[in-house]
Amino acid sequence: MKKYTVLFVFCLVLFLSAGSVFAQGFTGPNAMGQNVVIPGGQQGFVGFVGPVQNVTVQQVVQTFPHKAHAVLRGNIVMSFGGDRYLFRDATGDIVIKIKHDRWWGLSVGPNDLIEIGGELKRDRRTGQINYFDAKSVRRA
């Protein structure tokens, strides 16, 4: 009986602490105009952190093909809900997709300058941009 009690307590603690894994991400306004505050933690890319060449949103939109990799530097200005956000730099805007596991505990707002590494997703038939799929996010 003690084994089951210890196992139950362990599972309960694990379940309650798992909620903090999702307490991360964008802390600015969403598309409905509401300000969502989500506590965050550490920052940085996971994996390679060597020198990279940053490109602008305008360069990505005009010249990059489907599945081209890039690193963008700018601000997330709005959330569309779920994992889609509006990213802006000095040259323009692009819709980005950041899955919850790509935040790595980072919490950013509209005034935080960030770098986003990922790949461009275009519609293969029309060539229109679907979104920029972020693989990593860090403060710039």
The full set of domain ranges for the chain reads: 2-139
In whole angstroms, give the CA distance from residue 54 to residue 64.
13
pLDDT at site 140: 78
pLDDT at site 87: 94
pLDDT at site 51: 53
Report how far apart, in Å, the C-alpha atoms of 63 and of each of 12, 58, 68, 129 are.
51, 8, 10, 11
Fold of 2-139: OB fold (Dihydrolipoamide Acetyltransferase, E2P) (2.40.50)
Can you give the pTM of this predicted structure? Answer: 0.66
Residue 56 in contact with residue 91, Cβ under 8 Å? yes
Report how far apart, in Å, the C-alpha atoms of 35 and of each of 77, 106, 110 are.
11, 17, 11
Q: Which residues of the chain have pLDDT under 50?
A: 16, 18-23, 32-48
Residue 30 in contact with residue 110, Cβ under 8 Å? no
